[in-house]
Amino acid sequence: MRRKPLNTASRSKLSKYAKPLANLAILLADAGSRLERRFWKKKLFAALAPMLESRSDTTLVQTLDHLYSTNYRAYDELAFAIENTVESPAIGDGSVDVLLLAAPILAWSTYNIPSGKIDESTVALFTELLHKNVLSDQAHLVLTNMLFSPDQLPESYTSAAELARQLGQAAVDKVMVRIDTENLPATQSFLSDVRYLIGAIAVPNGQPAFKWQVESHSNGVLLSKEEVLENWRVVGSQALQKIMPGCLLELMLPNGLYNACREAEKEARAYSVRASAAFLESALDVPPQKICASVGAFVDRGEIEEYRIGFSLEGTPDVVHGVVWPLIGEEYGNEPDPVYERDIESEPDNPVIRSKIEALLKEVGIRKITVLEERFPLEYCEDCGSPLYPNPEGELMHAELPEDSELPNTMQLH
């Protein structure tokens, strides 16, 4: 369940506000019984709520950074507690549970992938479809009038908490919410990306929120998450095509904001590789057997941060496209090494992730795969800021389509 902290470079002394928070997380991680865990968890959640309301992001981030380098079990406990407190704020007298919900959509298109404001009739349609296919009968859902890109999601814990309180109160009151889309950041254009429907659900205290928590009336068996997802994909994809024309879509299971975003980030990596192969085959009119893939591990501060895959054409050294495969959560490995000043070449590889990438490339028909032994620093183009990708010789290059290709070189992969 490990999560990467927001600022691992920070190693400053803990503030007077961060110390008690770190101590509570350590005590929770060291608890020896369910009874003791319940005691420390209640204390930790009680300490977090006022921090999120007072927008104390600095304290939260500093504490996470400190625990990441000193006690990774306590780090996980604190990260989990923060996310839970953000997603499920206390509303009213406590008789209703709320959850900040995200429904991720993987998409790829050679046109711009839509984001931004959606009309009220479309909001009503998606609300109805989610009620019928994903949520329990006891849950009341309020969706925003917005199709979010990753650039437009809340950047901090406190901004996410503020959104959760706003939407949670609306779900309790059963009123619509309209997001001011004018002040949101612009969406970057990628060939493959994620979009999110965001809302909040309210259920009576202790009641199930999702269909996979409810026994079927016919046979008393719980629906599986896979069955719920399949039903949502069938009805949701048809409705989404109307507001996302020209896109190939893959819907993911709606859930709490942080879990849904993490799962979307993981699945988006493989989705981007598949989109890359299909895109290059179409745009350059070449079969996948003529496409070469070079896989390299990229290191920052002593840890592998991501793999980058450079795509080139058979017989040429130029990189025509690239995909970044970031490591997420537990993929970073075990306890982090606090010593950053070490040789990049000595950083151990992640064979599980590397094998997964190789298998995926073979699945899409690419047979010429070079897995580079060298470890690369995180380098970007000085002019445009785009990642540099390896070619089969291990040279880092800017990804550019050939001049005679059908699409402009401004198209990026994500």
CA nearest 75: which of 12, 6, 17?
6
Position 249 in a domain: yes
In a domain, 11, yes or no: no
Tokens describing residue 246: 């020209």
Q: Tens of pLDDT along 194-221? A: 999 999 999 999 999 999 998 766 667 7
Q: Which domain holds residue 33?
A: 18-87
Task: Indicate whether 257 and 116 sit together in one domain.
Answer: yes
Axis-axis angle for helices 34-53, 72-87 (nearest 10): 60
Which of 56, 87, 118 delimits the end of a domain? 87
Tell me, yes or no, whether 234 and 116 share the same domain. yes
Same domain, 226 and 322: no
Q: pLDDT tens, 296-340? A: 999 987 789 999 999 999 999 999 999 999 998 777 654 443 333
Q: How far from chain centre, in Å, is Cα 149?
A: 11
User: Is the domain of 305 the same as that of 390?
Assistant: yes
Beta strand ranges found along 205-338 (DSSP E) = 248-251, 255-256, 291-300, 303-313, 321-326
pTM, full prediction:
0.87
Looking at the fold, whether 145 and 243 belong to one and the same domain comes out as: yes
Assign 135 to helix, strand or coil. strand
Co-location of 100 and 228 in the same domain: yes
Residue 6 included in any domain:
no
Tell me what the mean pLDDT of segment 394-399 comes to. 94
Do 145 and 238 share a domain, yes or no?
A: yes
Residues 232, 293 within the same domain: no
Number of domains making up the chain:
3
| Residues 236 and 324 grouped into a single domain | no
Kindly state whether residues 135 and 254 are assigned to the same domain.
yes
Neighbours of 360 (CB within 10 A): 18
pLDDT at position 341 over 70: no
